[in-house]
Homo-oligomer: A and B are copies of this chain.
Amino acid sequence: MVRPGGRSARVQEAVHTAVRELQAELGRAELTIPLVAARAGVTPSTIYRRWGDLQELLSDVAVENLRPDTPPRAHGNLAADLRSWAEQFIEEMASPVGRAYIRDALLGAPDGDNAARCSAYAAEQIGVVLARAAERGEGAPGVELVLDRVVAPMMYRILFRPGGLTADYARGLVDDLLDDSAAGR
């Protein structure tokens, strides 16, 4: 889905805002496309044309809610940066609100790009952390390896194996990865 500026961007913002407000006011079981359209000041057919159905719209809003709005905090070394990023990630994603967003994101069209956007956000944040390490001359694993070793286990457990999703667990994933990477060099 292309998201140019101008009218299209204004429609998207109005519709997303309407969804967030109505979810908060009415709960998500009460949401309908006509309600969202009325609140956003657009016609229902505008929404159907652009998003197809309510599930796809909720998926789009969820992914937008999962978009990080700040770069990862900087602590001066790779281990501290990655640990703090992973702790924040698990805290946000394993929360009831985070779980609901992940679930909604996955409920979008199977061939759509909503779920892939979630992963791209994580990859981007990790890329920032690794670029800082490279600037300092620290050895660091690649982005894909960090996704496999740190992000994937957290998301797998959030979706399939609830329990034990603590900051300690997140830190342990980072420490094990960095230990193994150091041993392999």
Pick from B116, B156, B180: contact of A151, CB under 8 Å: B156
Question: In the complex, are the beta carbons of A159 and B99 less than 8 A apart?
Answer: no
Residues of B within 8 Å of A131, CB to CB, are none
The interface size bin for chain A is: 20 to 34
Question: Of B103, B147, B179, B184, which contacts A156 at CB under 8 A?
Answer: B147
Q: Does A130 contact B (CB under 8 A)?
A: no
Distance in Å: Cβ of A120 to nearest Cβ of chain B: 8
How many copies of the chain does the oligomer comprise? 2
| The one of B115, B147, B183 that contacts A180, using a Cβ cutoff of 8 Å | B183
Which residues A73-123 have CB closer than 8 A to chain B? 99-100, 103, 106-107, 110, 115-116, 118-119
**107-148 of chain A: CB within 8 A of chain B:** 107, 110, 115-116, 118-119, 147-148
Let me know if A22 is at the binding interface, CB within 8 A: no
A118 → chain B, closest Cβ, in Å?
A: 6
Q: Which residue of B lies closest to A96 (CB)?
A: B110
* Given contact pairs A148-B153, A173-B148, A180-B183, A160 touches B110 in the complex (Cβ within 8 A): no
Q: List 19 A-B contacts (CB under 8 A).
A: A99-B110, A103-B106, A103-B110, A107-B107, A116-B160, A116-B162, A118-B160, A119-B156, A119-B160, A148-B153, A151-B156, A152-B156, A155-B160, A156-B156, A159-B159, A179-B184, A180-B180, A180-B183, A183-B183
Residues of chain A whose beta carbon lies under 8 Å from any beta carbon of chain B: 99-100, 103, 106-107, 110, 115-116, 118-119, 147-149, 151-153, 155-157, 159-162, 173, 179-180, 183-184
